[in-house]
Amino acid sequence: MQGANRYDQPVDGHFGQHGGRFVAETLMHALEALTELYETARRDPAFQAEFQRDLAQYVGRPTPLYFAERLTERLGGARVYLKREDLNHTGAHKVNNTVGQALLARRMGKPRIIAETGAGQHGVATATIAARLGLTCRVYMGADDVKRQSLNVYRMKLLGAEVVPVTSGSRTLKDALNEAMRDWVANVDTTHYIIGTVAGPHPYPAMVRDFQSVIGQEARSQCLQQIGRLPDVLVACVGGGSNAIGLFHPFIDDAAVRLVGVEAGGRGLETGQHAAPLNAGRVGVLHGNRTYLMMNDDGQIIETHSISAGLDYPGVGPEHAYLKDIGRAEYDAVTDDEAMTAFRLLNHCEGILPALESSHALAWVARHARALGPDQVVVVNLSGRGDKDIMTVAALDGIEL
């Protein structure tokens, strides 16, 4: 959370034309109060110390930066390093943010937290921290995702959370977010809403980014220590974009470092069945912020498709929209099939089971490693582990577990 980038704090919550605060009036006061509290907390050494202690002693940070030697050989080009966020407690980067926001909830004296979840990783991370701090927890999850991610659903219940399947709309992550917002409107006095990604109304995109920036801060100093220089390319998958912004942000002022976000290309951008708003979307307003969205000519949000529940979202964090507009980061997409191939590849040659989300970032590297060549150092954010996806992959292989 240190580091003074040129646009470290958004102007009134805006990143260029993106971001902002587009919510019902009932929530405006809560967002103002949260912004004020967060601004105080981020400057408070005691809060920072508490956050860092939790990351070290509860989450298990720092996570390693691992040179994937056999993967590098196999791909025959760029040297590939993995930032091992899969080794965090609960198995993904999501917990960095929930630790920070739960500390804020406690500061506000709010006894109840709610969250939305897609793949279930953010739900698990929220339920985990709620259990640890003794807070009541309710997680909203699209009814289709509840089916796709039954393991994480049961895990949240074991942690004492209530999981509410959402049957409205497309029954996925965006609808879970709608339902969480409705809950928050009704219970705003007692409840803190832990949004799991760098989207939503201000201050969420900036606040979640700050909590996730520990990924890039560690990666930066690990690169200097282990390689003696900065990396050439950073690669991360982008759904809402929290793991990507967490890796990118501390490098934004390092102009020579290429930043590549990889969206879910689903069945291919040309089919329209994907979740790649930065590649094929238009600017609109959803879930409290202005950003690139998957929408039709009438402004209706259209259904997305991705093999990975965590990337199956029609919007994207406003800071990514801004980084695209100013050309500082580039955003590409890989298909379900490419992600699956990368998923298997990492299992076989490194003994690491990646999440299907993170497999999208690996797939981009697989596609470009040779062209980049052996002089280039690529850091991939391995944002989560793939245990939760075993059922999905087994089903694709026609195996019943």
Query: What residues act catalytically?
Result: 94, 116, 383
Cβ distance to another protein smaller for residue 181 or 275:
181
For the CB of residue 279, give the shortest distance to another protein in the complex, in Å: 19
* Dist CA 244 CA 346 (whole Å): 20
3-state DSSP of 64-127: CEEECHHHHHHHCCCEEEEEEHHHCCCCECHHHHHHHHHHHHHHHCCCEEEEEECCCHHHHHHH
Of 151-159, 176-184, 230-238, 255-263: span binding another protein (CB under 8 A): 176-184
17 φ/ψ sector (left φ>0, alpha ψ -120 to 50, else beta): alpha
Fill in the DSSP letter of residue 125.
Answer: H
Question: How many Cβ atoms sit within 10 Å of the Cβ of residue 109?
Answer: 8
For the CB of residue 94, give the shortest distance to another protein in the complex, in Å: 23
Question: How many Cβ atoms sit within 10 Å of the Cβ of residue 168?
Answer: 12
**Mask 196-215, x = binds another protein (CB under 8 A)?**
--------------------
* Dist CA 342 CA 234 (whole Å): 17
The CA dihedral of 37, 39, 44, 47, to the nearest 10 degrees, is 60
Q: Pick one of 10, 15, 21, 102: the residue that binds another protein (CB under 8 A).
A: 21
Would you count residue 11 as binding another protein (CB under 8 A)? no
Q: Are 65 and 364 in contact (CB under 8 A)?
A: no
* Dist CA 349 CA 358 (whole Å): 16
Cβ distance to another protein smaller for residue 181 or 382:
181
Would you count residue 172 as binding another protein (CB under 8 A)? no
Would you count residue 299 as binding another protein (CB under 8 A)? yes
Q: Pick one of 29, 229, 344, 370: the residue that binds another protein (CB under 8 A).
A: 29
Phi, psi (rounded to 5 degrees) for 187: -125, 30
CB-based contacts of 28, cutoff 8 Å, min separation 6: 21
Would you count residue 26 as binding another protein (CB under 8 A)? yes
Q: Pick one of 1, 10, 15, 23: the residue that binds another protein (CB under 8 A).
A: 23
Both tokens of 147, joined, read 């089916």
Of 88-96, 174-182, 340-348, 357-365: span binding another protein (CB under 8 A): 174-182
For the CB of residue 243, give the shortest distance to another protein in the complex, in Å: 24
Q: Pick one of 11, 46, 186, 371: the residue that binds another protein (CB under 8 A).
A: 186
Q: Pick one of 25, 270, 375, 400: the residue that binds another protein (CB under 8 A).
A: 25
Residue 242, judged by CB atoms within 10 A of its CB (0-12, 13-18, 19+), counts as buried
Phi, psi (rounded to 5 degrees) for 329: -120, 155
Of 24-32, 124-132, 222-230, 347-355: span binding another protein (CB under 8 A): 24-32
Of 123-131, 143-151, 187-195, 356-364: span binding another protein (CB under 8 A): 187-195
Would you count residue 400 as binding another protein (CB under 8 A)? no
Q: Pick one of 15, 18, 20, 324: the residue that binds another protein (CB under 8 A).
A: 20
Residues between 269 and 298 with contacts to another protein, criterion CB under 8 A:
282-288, 293, 295-298
Cβ distance to another protein smaller for residue 176 or 362:
176
Residues between 345 and 384 with contacts to another protein, criterion CB under 8 A:
none
Cβ distance to another protein smaller for residue 21 or 94:
21
Q: Pick one of 27, 238, 275, 363: the residue that binds another protein (CB under 8 A).
A: 27
* Dist CA 356 CA 95 (whole Å): 18
Cβ distance to another protein smaller for residue 325 or 387:
325
Q: Residue 232 corresponds to which amino acid?
A: D
Q: Are 127 and 137 in contact (CB under 8 A)?
A: yes
Q: Cα angle at 171 between 169 and 175, to 5 degrees?
A: 65
Helix (H) or strand (E) holding 219: helix 214-226
Residues contributing to the site for another protein (CB under 8 A):
12, 20-30, 168-169, 174-175, 178, 181-182, 185-189, 282-288, 293, 295-302
